[in-house]
Amino acid sequence: MKNMGDGRRVARVEREIQATVAQFLLRDLRSELPGIVSVASVKMPADLRAAKVYISVIGTDEERDEVMDILKERAYEIQNYIGSELKMRYCPKLTFYSDTITEQVIKVDRILQELENERKAKGDKGSSEADDE
């Protein structure tokens, strides 16, 4: 069995595919996609024949579902674009997944901000009561 474990090459191809898919979204699908859409990451096996493309959508659940449906319908067209842009021996088969990590980060950030605001509000009350005495 040959050595397929050059992680640097896989990482470089993942970055190139991520950039190329993002270009395609901006160039050809900008008007069709609702919400704010970005290519969060791409994961590929060592043979580079498949790619899991994680898409982040900032918007409602309906918008996220619509974006995923559009991308799944247009996957073949996006694969052709990648094939023409990257000149790879094999064009990877794309599979799109919704990236929920970005949403989780936003939720955690919002919760932390609310806690910070509550802490400041309690701190202001405590210092004004101390001033009254």
Domain count, the chain: 2
Count CB atoms within 10 A of the CB of residue 26. 11
Residues 76 and 44 reside in one and the same domain: yes
CA distances from 85 to 36, 37, 91, 126 (A): 24, 21, 10, 62
Q: Could you tell me if 62 and 108 lie in one domain?
A: no
Task: Judge whether 1 lies within some domain.
Answer: no
pLDDT of 76 reads: 92
Which amino acid, 87? K
d(CA 41, CA 13): 12
Domain span holding position 28: 7-99
Instruction: Based on the fold, state whether residues 19 and 65 are members of the same structural domain.
Output: yes
19-61 pLDDT per residue, tens: 999 999 888 887 788 878 889 899 999 888 999 999 988 878 8
Are the beta carbons of 29 and 16 closer than 8 angstroms?
Answer: no
Tokens of 91: 């064009």
Give residue 31's pLDDT. Answer: 78
Q: Is the pTM of this model over 0.75?
A: no
